[in-house]
């Protein structure tokens, strides 16, 4: 059986800029951490990405292109 490695992951939401008809940014929005940093044991970074993707809340499922999954191995 393969040994698990320790990884940390988080999911970040980067909202799109809202612009008016002239192309000016209306209100700049900051990125938000959707899933706080979590530690998991996994065999590969791809496995952690799948675990992180499953942790995305339902209210963000329609904005998947605006989400970033970050993974850090130890």
The pair phi, psi for residue 30, each rounded to 5°, is -85, 155
The number of angstroms, rounded, from the C-alpha of 64 to the middle of its chain's C-alpha atoms is 9
The number of angstroms, rounded, from the C-alpha of 4 to the middle of its chain's C-alpha atoms is 22
**Structure confidence at residue 1 (pLDDT):** 65
Model confidence over 26-73: pLDDT tens digits?
777 899 999 999 999 999 999 999 999 999 999 999 999 999 999 999
Label residue 5 by pLDDT band (50, 70, 90): very high
Residue 18 clears pLDDT 80, i.e. is over it: no
């Amino acid at each position: 059986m393969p040994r698990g490695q320790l990884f940390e992951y988080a999911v970040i939401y980067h909202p799109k800029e809202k612009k008016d008809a002239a192309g000016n940014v209306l209100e700049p929005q900051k990125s938000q951490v959707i899933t706080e940093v979590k530690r998991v044991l996994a065999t590969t970074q791809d496995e952690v990405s799948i675990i992180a993707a499953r942790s995305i809340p339902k209210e963000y499922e329609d904005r998947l292109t605006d989400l970033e999954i970050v993974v850090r191995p130890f």
